[in-house]
């Protein structure tokens, strides 16, 4: 492999091929340094020294789920005595426990006891109580679930969600967007094609989404490369993805961990490589790469800043999905802790909203997005545009 030639491509604005991404992901530890350096160089070109974060809170409206993903340590059976469904009033109460948040992030299990109307009532109640808080909620799998149960198309489901104050779609349930892997780790979940179709529908309606990958289990480099390629192709068409969030598999308390004898989280060197390759593969198409402090721990998350990362993610407040799968890095950080961690790494902290608008730029500036792409219709997005990057980010490289 001509490593120099491959690593020059992103710097010149050329796209890496899927095969080149797979080759980079297969590099042995002693050949990875140039990849790390290229990712860091590209990130600094796109995002400077800025590391952003969002002041948010997680609200999991139900833990009961009739599915059985092999990697999940969160779900309980719908008839389990620990199963719960939040009422709209309880959800509002939880959202109000953290004054000043800019976002609530809301996902839950596929609970046959929870109707779409109940879910709409939860969103509407939060939106009414906190109209400025962006509701970032539901995965494509949940959209599929509520659509089929309510007899609606995904487009009709999104329309009703928008009426209830819905803001943007969680890019989870992606896991690995390769069906041969999905059949093993999440056989009941929607196919790769359906996942893409639902996210594309959201984007066409002006609803932004995040994007994720679940890695560090049974996947191979070719699967990761194929996954990145699916996301990049989608983004090239719609421009609706705000960020990419690699999520490392937490094996504890999970059927997948037990079945495959996976007892440890992926080595941090392998985590760094995935971040670096993702940065190089997405380039300016998806300029925001988010680390995950609740899975990696804050110290390692801060280290990822040198491997292409430009976002520390959310304060989370009451994160419980990772904790249930053995996560030991806490359920919340304060904004002060986020800022201290970013500054401690010699970077500039930037508080942002869900759609990457800066809320406290250095010097107190308040800016809108730098680059736009197409009209937006999202109720929670006053800019009515698809921002591609934070203000001040370079658009040429
Ligand atoms: S990952 Fe989600 S859909 Fe899968 S079992 Fe867990 S709660 Fe259910």
CB of residue 74 inside a 6 A radius of ligand 1: yes
Residue 65 in contact with ligand 1 by CB distance below 6 A: yes
78 CB less than 6 Å from ligand 1? no
pLDDT band at 322 (very low <50, low <70, confident <90, very high): low
Nearest-atom number in ligand 1 for the CA of 71 is 1
What mean pLDDT is predicted for residues 67-77?
90
Res. 283: pLDDT tops 70: yes
| Minimum-distance ligand 1 atom for the alpha carbon of 74 | 6
**Ligand 1 atom 6 nearest Cα:** 72
What's the gap in Å between 186 CA and the centre of ligand 1? 8
- The C-alpha atoms of residue 27 and residue 47 are separated, in whole angstroms, by 26
Q: Is the CB of 75 under 6 A from ligand 1?
A: yes
- Whether residue 80 is predicted with pLDDT greater than 70 in this model: the reply is yes
What is the band of 382 on the pLDDT scale with cuts at 50, 70, 90? very low
State if residue 110 touches ligand 1 by the CB under 6 angstroms criterion. yes
Token pair in block for residue 68 = 């059985």
Query: Which residues have a Cβ under 8 Å from the Cβ of 197 and sit 6 or more positions away?
Result: 154
Q: What pLDDT is stored for residue 68 in this prediction?
A: 87
Identify the residue whose C-alpha is closest to ligand 1 atom 7: 109
| pLDDT above 70: residue 396 | no
Which helix (H) or strand (E) covers residue 206, if one does? none
Reference 1, options 20, 17, 18; nearest CA is 20
Distance 217 CA to ligand 1 centre (A): 16
CA of 359 to the centre of ligand 1 (A): 33
pLDDT band at 269 (very low <50, low <70, confident <90, very high): very high
The residues with which 375 forms a beta bridge, in sequence order, are 385
pLDDT at 374: 37
Atom number of ligand 1 nearest to Cα 68: 5
C-alpha 173 to ligand 1 mean position (Å): 8
Answer whether 170 contacts ligand 1 (Cβ < 6 A). no
- The pLDDT tens digits of the residues spanning 141-199 come to 999 999 999 999 999 999 999 999 999 999 999 999 999 999 999 999 999 999 999 99
Residue 265 DSSP class? P
Whether the pLDDT of residue 375 is over 80: the answer is: no
Residues 335-367 as b/e (b if ≥16 CB within 10 A, e otherwise) read: beebbebbeebebebbbbbbbbbbeebeeeeee
Mutation pick for ligand 1 pocket among 72, 73, 257 (CB with most ligand atoms within 8 Å): 72
In the predicted structure, residue 319 carries a pLDDT above the cut 70: no
CA 303 / ligand 1 centre spacing (Å):
30
pLDDT tens sequence across 347-362? 999 999 999 999 975 5
- Asked if 374 and 239 touch (Cβ cutoff 8 Å), the reply is yes
Joined together, the tokens standing for residue 274 give 């995935």
Residues of the chain above pLDDT 70, percent: 87
* Rounded average pLDDT over 332-358: 95
pLDDT of residue 202: 98
Report the separation in Å between the CA atom of 389 and the middle of ligand 1, taken as the mean of its atom positions. Answer: 31
Instruction: For residues 248-261, give the mean pLDDT.
Output: 92
| For range 359-386, the mean pLDDT | 42
pLDDT at 62: 96
Taken in order of first residue, the domains within the chain and their CATH numbers are: 3-364 (3.20.20.70)
Residue 131: its pLDDT value, please?
A: 97
User: CA-to-CA distance for 200 and 195, rounded, in angstroms?
Assistant: 9
Atom of ligand 1 nearest to the CA of 109: 7
**Average pLDDT over the chain, rounded to an integer:** 89
Could you tell me if the CB of 68 is within 6 A of ligand 1? Answer: yes
Beta-strand runs (E) in the chain = 50-54, 56-60, 103-107, 134-137, 168-169, 209-215, 241-248, 311-314, 348-352
pLDDT of residue 320: 59
Cα dihedral angle (41, 44, 49, 54), rounded to 10 degrees? -120
pLDDT at site 132: 96
109 CB within 6 A, ligand 1:
yes
pLDDT tier at 316 (50, 70, 90 boundaries)? confident
């Amino acid at each position: 492999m001509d490593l120099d030639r491959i690593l020059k491509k992103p710097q010149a604005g050329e796209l890496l091929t899927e095969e080149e991404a797979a080759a980079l992901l297969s590099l042995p530890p002693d050949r990875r340094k140039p990849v790390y350096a290229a990712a860091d160089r590209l990130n600094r070109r796109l995002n400077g020294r800025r590391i952003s974060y969002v002041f948010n809170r997680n609200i999991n409206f139900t833990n009961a789920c009739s599915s059985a993903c092999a990697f999940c340590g969160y779900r309980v059976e719908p008839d389990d005595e620990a199963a719960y469904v939040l009422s709209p009033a309880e959800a509002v109460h939880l959202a109000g426990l953290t004054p000043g948040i800019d976002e609530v992030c809301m996902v839950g299990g596929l609970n046959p006891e929870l109707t779409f109307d109940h879910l709409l009532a939860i969103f509407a109640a939060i939106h009414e109580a906190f109209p400025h808080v962006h509701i970032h909620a539901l995965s494509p799998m949940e959209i599929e679930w509520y659509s089929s149960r309510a007899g609606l198309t995904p487009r009709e489901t999104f329309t009703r969600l928008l009426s209830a104050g819905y803001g943007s779609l969680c890019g989870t349930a992606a896991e690995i967007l390769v069906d041969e892997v999905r059949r093993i780790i999440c056989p009941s979940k929607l196919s790769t094609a359906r996942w893409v179709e639902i996210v594309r529908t959201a984007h066409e309606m002006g609803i932004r989404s995040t994007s994720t990958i679940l890695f560090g289990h049974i996947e191979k480099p070719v699967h990761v490369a194929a996954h990145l390629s699916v996301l990049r192709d989608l983004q090239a068409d719609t421009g609706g993805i705000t960020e990419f969030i690699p999520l490392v598999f937490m094996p504890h308390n999970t059927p997948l961990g037990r079945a495959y004898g996976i007892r440890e989280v992926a080595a941090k060197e392998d985590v760094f490589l995935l971040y670096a390759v993702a940065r190089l593969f997405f380039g300016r198409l998806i300029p925001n790469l988010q680390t995950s402090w609740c899975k990696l721990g804050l110290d390692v998350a801060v280290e990822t800043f040198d491997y292409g990362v430009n976002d520390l993610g959310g304060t989370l407040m009451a994160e419980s999905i990772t904790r249930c799968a053995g996560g030991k890095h806490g359920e919340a950080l304060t904004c002060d802790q986020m800022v201290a961690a970013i500054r401690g790494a010699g970077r500039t902290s930037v508080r942002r909203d869900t759609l990457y608008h800066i809320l406290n730029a250095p010097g107190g500036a308040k800016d809108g997005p730098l680059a736009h792409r197409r009209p937006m219709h999202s109720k929670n997005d006053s800019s009515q545009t698809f921002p591609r990057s934070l203000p001040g980010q370079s658009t040429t490289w």
